[in-house]
Amino acid sequence: MGLTIFYWIVLLSTFVGIYYLGAKTDLKLWARVIIALVAGAILGFIFGDLAASSKWIGDLFVRFIRMLVVPLIFTSLVAGVVSMGDPKRLGSIGIKTIALYMLTTLFAIIIGLVLGTLFKPGMGIELTGVDPFTMGSSSMSVADRLFGIVPTNPISSLAKGDVLPIIFFSILLGIGIILGGEKTKALGDVFSAAAEAVLKIAHMVMQMAPYGVLSLIAWVAGTMGLSALQNLFVLTVILYVGCLVHIIFVYGGLIRFIARLPLSNFFKGILDAQAVAYSTSSSSATLPVTLQCVQDNLGVKKTVASSVLPLGATINMDGTALYLGIVALFSAQIFGVELTFADYLLIAMTATLTSIGTAGIPSASLFLLATVLSVIGISDAQTALIVGFVLPFDRILDMARTVVNISGDATVSVLVAKSEGELNETEYRNESVI
Ligand code: ASP
């Protein structure tokens, strides 16, 4: 009892310390999250099982995140689809851009799935608290699951949180809004405003992150010990490797062999944007720098850059898709879910669509993890455990996926510019402007 009180005193003092660091020194949220991560791990090691007594703080944080899942998918996806159909953005540039965005996302998810299958980051973890065999939808046949994508009642799908029917309906609604032209434009605006509002709530929820992270990592370190952290470490390494492979081979390959341009200029040219993406974890916040790098260093004309890049910062999230694929396999491995080929396809499809609906802000995909997990039959309770487990490391993972996200936008802008005759190759090849 005395020890529990002591643990709580230490914990609350750490909370207060982190709060004051933010309030007094303007220390950025991400830096506070990393401090919380380290502090939580230390507390967990020192206090062991006692750290479980504060897990509820992390659980509360996870509940806030889960609260936003359905509103976020619904509003962001409708708004995302509507933004693709902006008449200004359509035409040959628009079609090439969207096709390339989809293609690169597909490669990203394949890389994620291959790495997750080869290295099995989730093997050997025992997450306590849930019956591992409560999987529901996985036992349904593939035909039933595919059939189930079309909701008989979209409102009931929203209420039940059935992700695939929600995605399906959101996309259709977005298309309907585009087709309605002027008459439905106001509805499109309502959805983008609603998505904006939900993101604001997400932003508020993220202010709780340091405390949630600290409590969760203390619980992981205290009750599961070093081996669990090792698994998270492996997950992080795999994600970083996947991101590197995607940047070097997919983007590098496209620039070198499709656009037939030298690689070194490309990578040097976008370095600033990558650095900003890595430190802000937000493709939207990085957009001005990406625009500047692509126009000034890579010679992409404004007509292309100004339409391709903002769209990319909204819908093209290759790093996010790669991450979602790896975490889906990670979770399946933890809960012993046997995945069939159809499951892999379902993960790929859902991760691609989810990445379209992911906003370019820090930790956005954390809110949408549940989407991908639910399609392979991972229950709500299990998803909450996974989110709680991965969350403390999310910032580090987010930094890498955001770099991939913006590098993908830059790659596509160069390819589209080249094919449209809107690339100033002299500027691209000129090392001195970089
Ligand atoms: N932070 C990422 C971005 O802004 C989105 C994500 O959470 O995956 O691109």
CB of 330 closer than 8 Å to CB of 119: no
Distance between Cα 153 and ligand 1 center (Å): 31
| pLDDT at residue 136 is higher than 60 | no
Distance between Cα 199 and ligand 1 center (Å): 12
End-to-end CA distance of the chain: 62
DSSP state of 220: I
Q: Which residues contact 242 (CB under 8 A, 6 or more apart)?
A: 108, 111, 112, 115, 322, 326
pLDDT tens for residues 324-338? 999 999 999 988 888
Lowest mean pLDDT among 160-164, 202-206, 404-408: 160-164
pLDDT tens for residues 374-399? 888 888 778 878 888 888 888 889 99
Give the separation between CA 305 and CA 124, rounded to whole angstroms.
46
Nearest to 413 by CA among 277, 307, 336, 286: 307
Distance between Cα 401 and ligand 1 center (Å): 7
Residue 8 structure tokens: 């709580």
| pLDDT at residue 138 is higher than 60 | no
pLDDT tens for residues 203-249? 888 788 889 889 988 888 888 777 777 888 889 999 999 999 999 99
Lowest mean pLDDT among 13-22, 41-50, 339-348, 350-359: 350-359
Name the residue of 65, 274, 355, 398 to mutate for ligand 1: max ligand atoms within 8 A of Cβ: 398
Name the residue of 33, 68, 283 to mutate for ligand 1: max ligand atoms within 8 A of Cβ: 283
| pLDDT at residue 413 is higher than 50 | yes
Burial degree of 256 (CB within 10 A; 0-12, 13-18, 19+): middle
Give the separation between CA 152 and CA 137, rounded to whole angstroms.
17
Q: Is 197 helix (H, G, I), strand (E, B) or coil?
A: helix
Distance between Cα 209 and ligand 1 center (Å): 16
CB of 326 closer than 8 Å to CB of 239: yes
| pLDDT at residue 362 is higher than 70 | yes
DSSP state of 338: P
Beta bridge partners, 300, equal 423
Average pLDDT over residues 259-265: 93
What is the CB < 6 Å shell around ligand 1?
281-283, 317, 320, 358, 360-365, 398, 401-402, 405
For residue 397, what are the CA distances in angstroms to 59, 303, 365? 20, 33, 11
What is the structure's pLDDT at 121? 86
Task: List Cβ<8 Å contacts ≥24 apart for 164-170.
Answer: 164/350, 164/375, 166/70, 166/73, 166/74, 167/73, 167/77, 167/350, 167/353, 167/354, 167/357, 167/371, 170/73, 170/74, 170/77, 170/78, 170/81, 170/357
Q: Which amino acid is at 350?
A: T
Give residue 141's pLDDT band: very low, low, confident or very high (50, 70, 90).
low
Structural domains of the chain, with CATH: 2-433 (1.10.3860.10)
Nearest to 195 by CA among 79, 284, 306: 79
Closest atom of ligand 1 to 362 CA is: 1
Q: Which amino acid is at 123?
A: M
What is the structure's pLDDT at 246? 97
